[in-house]
Amino acid sequence: MSISRSSTYPIEPVFLQRWSPRAFTGEAISEEALLALLEAARWAPSANNAQPWRFIYLMPDSPDWQGLLNTLNENNRRWAPQASAFLVLLSKTTHIRPGASEPAPLYSHSLDAGAAWAYLALQAEASGWSTHPIGGYDRAALQVLLGVPEGYRLETLVAVGKRGPAEGLPDDLRSREQPTPRRPLTEIVAKDRFSFATT
Ligand SMILES: Cc1cc2nc3c(=O)[nH]c(=O)nc-3n(C[C@H](O)[C@H](O)[C@H](O)COP(=O)(O)O)c2cc1C
């Protein structure tokens, strides 16, 4: 059974084509190819153009590859080790505004980092790679492992790889290995004032 995605209004196909697989082939990704995906993230918009996103990338030969895998929760550890690379997305929580000398809290640091992740995910899809964000990991442990100082929020990991056959996945994950649907536009968009269901 597979869900084919369709949009109510016409959009670029890449938005429908991107989804987050768990089955990866394990094919190696070159640093150059990975950096090309990060290049797309670089061009995301952000408040004050502060660009608070920071990405740490790890390849299978990275000294902390296994350490990173150890921070994954049990569920994610069942599939994510087949990824070709991991990105660790951080956001810097403060910013020195133009004309100021001291850093001030940046309200939108996570929002901005989210935009960068989305740019990267779409570029990956366009380049023949897949991505799967992972929020289920031990942030405190990864922060220590990678030497992330105070002032940075650990947002999400991103597994990067070539989409593989679902057959290799455990049964329960295999049945979920397909694009997910979305709420209808009418449920997430209101005209003029708040009119959403609040339950
Ligand atoms: C911030 C964030 C955290 C996520 N954490 C996990 C995770 O820990 N494990 C997992 O399998 N998927 C995780 N996902 C993937 C979502 O479940 C997935 O993006 C969502 O169901 C929509 O499906 P799609 O990306 O295939 O369109 C995460 C996604 C985001 C954006």
Q: To which H or E segment does residue 42 belong?
A: helix 31-42
CA atoms within 13 A on the CB side of 154: 23
Q: What percent of the chain has pLDDT over 90?
A: 96
Q: Ligand 1 center to residue 88 CA distance, Å? A: 14
Q: Tokens in use for 167? A: 């057959």
The 10s digit of each residue's pLDDT in 6-41 is 999 999 999 999 999 999 999 999 999 999 999 999
Q: Among 5, 25, 28, which residue's Cα sits nearest to residue 16?
A: 5
* Nearest CA residue ID for atom 21, ligand 1: 180
The 10s digit of each residue's pLDDT in 136-149 is 999 999 999 999 99
Pocket probe for ligand 1: among 20, 75, 89, 120, the residue whose CB has the most ligand atoms within 8 Å is: 20
pLDDT of 1 higher than 50: no
Q: How far apart are CA 93 and CA 110, in angstroms?
A: 8
Pocket probe for ligand 1: among 88, 134, 178, the residue whose CB has the most ligand atoms within 8 Å is: 134
Q: To which H or E segment does residue 37 belong?
A: helix 31-42
Q: Check if 131 has its Cβ closer than 6 Å to any atom of ligand 1.
A: no
pLDDT of 3 higher than 70: no
Domain 13-188, classified CATH 1.10.10.10, yes or no: no
- DSSP characters over 108-150: THHHHHHHHHHHHHHHHHHTT-EEEEE--B-HHHHHHHHTPPT
The 10s digit of each residue's pLDDT in 8-17 is 999 999 999 9
- DSSP characters over 79-117: TGGG-SEEEEEEEE-EE--TT-SS-EE-TTHHHHHHHHH
Average pLDDT estimate for 52-80: 98
Q: Check if 71 has its Cβ closer than 6 Å to any atom of ligand 1.
A: no
Question: What are the sequence ranges of the domains in the chain?
Answer: 13-188
User: What was the pLDDT predicted at 199?
Assistant: 84
The 10s digit of each residue's pLDDT in 95-139 is 999 899 999 999 999 999 999 999 999 999 999 999 999 999 999
How high does pLDDT run on average in the chain? 97
